[in-house]
Structure 1
Amino acid sequence: MFSKAFSTPNKANFIIQGAGIIWLLATSVILHFYGIEWMVALGDGAIYSLIFIGSIFILDRIFSSYIPKGANTWLLLILPLVLSLVGALFHRYFLQWIFSEDLAYKDLLRNHFLLRWLILAIVEIMVTLLAIVVSKLEQQEELQKRELHMVELSKESELYQIRQQLQPHFLFNSLNSINALVVSQPQKAREMVLQLSDFLRGTIRKDLQSWVKLEEEIKYLQMYLEIEKVRFGHRLQVNFNVEEEVLGMLIPQLLIQPLLENAIKHGLYGITGPVEIYLEARKEQNYLIIIIENPFDPEAPAVKGTGFGLSSVERRLYLIFGRMDLLKKDIHGNKFLVQLKIPQLK
């Protein structure tokens, strides 16, 4: 436990040894100041320092495996007191035996016994409390790291779940369209199957969390639109207005496709004539701005089953960036607009 109070065990040992040397020198100088010979003073300081280092080591062994809690917290005070008393008694009687002929030194040991015990006890209690505090802080840090790791795992799991929902969501819609074309327009049905195969081959194995250049994302969107054009024919027209400087900017993959799919559904539902959808991409400061605009009939009933695209993108943005202000929706007359802001973090 005490070694954890410092950066590494080697550094902890170095600090304790350094404290022992300082203790030795300080004790020796003080004793010599009071008239004790240097040999006796150095012997006293050496034994006192060894007792100090030994006490720290014993407390380390005890509290590394057991930290008193609740009603047992009194041990944090009692153990250093008992240990320091044993050390002070050993110091007194051992040195009295070693330097038995030095009567002045023996009187000093006897008269200052309580002071030596008090000093040793205070130091051991302070070191014990310091180590306990550091240990608690390290436990909190480890707990925070585990919680952060669990949050990251939860985010990854949810992102994967969104991906598993997005792909079948688009696939089922395409299969329904193919089914509708099989009898009436078999050639278009075969064409749509081939295009769907190419699109899924390029996207189904992609990591939903990976970042791609906007230029690559637009290629996937164009593949998707080729499939939708087979489905809706001349009624669907999507106009891209993409600034050249943003083609190299990064975006989480397949983030725009659900929004475009949502725009196509809302734009074509309840409108009999051709439908134009606009997709604009530009740069604002350190953001990639994507705007999708589609016409819609405000008096038409809501399209059954819609809403997943917007909610899934909004949730992905929160999981990736931790922000809820990156997706905005607005209505201007019979136009529905979605604005997407992608911070450029890489």
Structure 2
Amino acid sequence: MFSRAFSNPYISKWIVQGAGIIWFLGTFGLLMYYGVGQAVAIVDALIFALFFIFGVNIIDQTFNFYVPSGRNNSMLLIFPLLFSLVASYFHFQLLRWIFDEESLYLVFLREVFLLRWAVLGMAEILVALLALAVSKLEEQKEIKNREVMMHELSREAELSQLRQQLQPHFLFNSLNSISALTISQPQKAREMVLQLSDFLRGTMEKDHQQWVSLEEELTYLKMYLDIEHVRFGHRLEVVFDVTDEVKQLRLPQLLIQPLLENAIKHGLYGITEDVRIILRAYKEQNYLMVQIENPFDPEVAAPKGTGFGLSSVGRRLFLLFGRKDLLESKAVESVFTVILKIPQHK
């Protein structure tokens, strides 16, 4: 009980010893008040205090293994009263044996037997109630910790599921492109297969990393763009406007790729001329800012499936940071812009 109430076992040891000293001094003072000799009072109070400390330790050990509840709450009264009765009886017999020639003290000892039992019993009951209260608090704390742990596991599972969804989403698009190139341009299809293989291999090698530097993420993005260039040729141009000072800032892995894929879809769908997509990265206060701009035709309906990248990234950011203001998107005239804010932890 006390060991669970205080993280340091030495603190609980000193608390029990302090309570024993107070018990000893209180008993000694009462005995002196009733006219018991000093030597006899010291022995009496010392033995009585030892029985009190022994009872506290027994209750402590009992509540470490068993906490009464429901109908068993009566044990909070029965056990301390039974122990105090046995302790008072042994205290009486031991002192009668030690001071067998002190007739007046023996009469006093006999007369206060029930009073000693009541006082010791009440004290042990209070200790038991304190033990029960501490046990209940510890139980609630453990339940809360388990709930937090389950929430964390659930959050990690959803994050993992989101990351796993992104690859098949991109993979299916790439396989469709490979299928289309197999007959018309078999050499490009073969080139795309090799690049896709390298891309997926690199993804699996760093899948265990939750956070990566922006420089690592850009390397990954360039592998992805090599594949997209095979699909779209000269029509696609992606410009990286990234300063060296932000390349070592960190972000959750695979976070930018679905946004860039979304920009390519928006930019190329319904537009026949060349498409220029701009990716900017800079630091603003304690945030890594990533801004992606792509042209789009506001009069043409968006391609089927567009929006998966934005929703998945928004959900990941919410699970990681508990915030919904880290991803913004806006369309001004014929330019669609996505702004990603990634807090930089110390």
Q: What TM-score results when the alignment is normalised by the length of structure 2? A: 0.90
CA contact (8 A) 1:208 1:252 kept: no
Supply the AA of the counterpart residue of 1:39: A
CA distance in 2, matches of 1:13, 1:283: 54
Where does residue 221 of structure 1 map in the other structure? 221
Shift of 1:259: 0.4
CA distance in 2, matches of 1:190, 1:62: 73
CA distance in 2, matches of 1:154, 1:219: 31
CA distance in 2, matches of 1:29, 1:109: 16
Q: How does 1:196-207 map to 2 (within 5 A)?
A: 196-207=196-207
Q: Is 1:27–2:27 an aligned residue pair?
A: yes
Shift of 1:150: 1.9
* Further displaced range: 86-95 or 209-218: 86-95
- Number of residue pairs matched? 346
Shift of 1:113: 3.6
Moved over 4 A (4+): 8-11
The residue matched to 1:212 in structure 2 has which SS? strand
Shift of 1:287: 0.4
Supply the AA of the counterpart residue of 2:223: M
Shift of 1:284: 0.9
Supply the AA of the counterpart residue of 1:131: A
Q: Is 1:87–2:93 an aligned residue pair?
A: no
Q: How does 1:226-245 map to 2 (within 5 A)?
A: 226-245=226-245
Q: Is 1:151–2:145 an aligned residue pair?
A: no
CA contact (8 A) 1:208 1:254 kept: no
Where does residue 52 of structure 1 map in the other structure? 52
Shift of 1:18: 4.1
CA distance in 2, matches of 1:97, 1:192: 99
Q: How does 1:240-259 map to 2 (within 5 A)?
A: 240-259=240-259
Where does residue 130 of structure 1 map in the other structure? 130
* Further displaced range: 234-243 or 278-287: 234-243
CA distance in 2, matches of 1:7, 1:21: 23
Where does residue 274 of structure 2 map in the other structure? 274
Supply the AA of the counterpart residue of 1:174: S
Where does residue 160 of structure 1 map in the other structure? 160
Supply the AA of the counterpart residue of 1:260: L
Shift of 1:94: 4.0
CA deviations over 1:278-313 (Å, ceiling 9, x no partner) = 211111110001111112222322311222211221
Q: Is 1:284–2:299 an aligned residue pair?
A: no
Evaluate the alpha carbon distance shift between residue 254 and residue 216 of structure 1 in structure 2; reply closer, same or farther with a 3 A threshold.
same
CA distance in 1, matches of 2:262, 2:337: 11
Supply the AA of the counterpart residue of 2:238: V
CA contact (8 A) 2:269 2:302 kept: no
Q: Is 1:141–2:141 an aligned residue pair?
A: yes
Supply the AA of the counterpart residue of 2:37: E
Q: What TM-score results when the alignment is normalised by the length of structure 1? A: 0.90
CA distance in 1, matches of 2:209, 2:308: 18
CA distance in 2, matches of 1:208, 1:158: 15
Where does residue 335 of structure 1 map in the other structure? 335
CA contact (8 A) 2:63 2:131 kept: no
CA distance in 1, matches of 2:107, 2:126: 29
Q: Is 1:308–2:304 an aligned residue pair?
A: no
The residue matched to 1:204 in structure 2 has which SS? helix
CA contact (8 A) 2:84 2:117 kept: yes
CA deviations over 1:32-59 (Å, ceiling 9, x no partner) = 3543223211221122112212322333
CA distance in 2, matches of 1:194, 1:61: 67
Shift of 1:172: 1.6
CA contact (8 A) 1:163 1:208 kept: no
Where does residue 37 of structure 2 map in the other structure? 37
CA deviations over 1:5-29 (Å, ceiling 9, x no partner) = 3335565445324432442344234
CA distance in 1, matches of 2:249, 2:2: 50
Q: Is 1:103–2:112 an aligned residue pair?
A: no
Shift of 1:62: 3.8
CA contact (8 A) 1:297 1:334 kept: yes
Shift of 1:83: 2.6
CA contact (8 A) 1:159 1:209 kept: no
The residue matched to 2:178 in structure 1 has which SS? helix
CA distance in 2, matches of 1:108, 1:145: 54
CA distance in 1, matches of 2:77, 2:209: 53
Across the aligned residues of Structure 1 and Structure 2, the Cα RMSD in angstroms comes to 2.3
CA contact (8 A) 1:160 1:208 kept: no
CA contact (8 A) 2:213 2:251 kept: yes
CA distance in 1, matches of 2:130, 2:19: 15
State the identity as a percent. 62
Which residues of structure 1 form unaligned runs of 5+?
none
Evaluate the alpha carbon distance shift between residue 212 and residue 61 of structure 1 in structure 2; reply closer, same or farther with a 3 A threshold.
closer
Where does residue 182 of structure 1 map in the other structure? 182
